[in-house]
Amino acid sequence: MIKLVRTKINYTELRKRCLEEIRQWPGCETVAGLQLVRNASPSGFSINITLYGIADKKTADRAKVYVERVNQRLYRLTE
């Protein structure tokens, strides 16, 4: 089994990166807020969108799932 090496990152930096990546998706430019929820997973977090703006909810949620999956592989949330 391969053990993934995750980069440690703090809450504010990870939140900023996730929001920027979600805004890159077509139709999600107006997403204004998201929340990182700490949990017991190996990465230590999950994402919730709090302010959709005029973005389509279904498209924004699809972008959130993709960004969450990629960032959970790359980063581990620290204090």
Structural domains of the chain, count: 1
Does any domain span residue 49?
yes
Nearest-angstrom CA–CA distance, 64 and 28:
10
Displacement of CA 66 from its chain's centroid (Å): 8
What tokens were used for 32? 């204004």
Range of the domain at 56: 7-77
Locus of tokens 């302010």: 51
What is the pLDDT, as a whole number, of residue 1?
Answer: 65
* Cα gap 74→19, rounded to integer Å: 16
Residue at 1 is within a domain: no
Pick from 41, 52, 45: which is nearest to 12 by CA? 45
Report which of residues 33 and 2 the model is more confident about.
33
3-state secondary structure of 35: strand
How high does pLDDT run on average in the chain? 89
The mean per-residue pLDDT over the stretch 1-20 comes to: 86
Looking at the domain assignment, is residue 2 inside a domain?
no
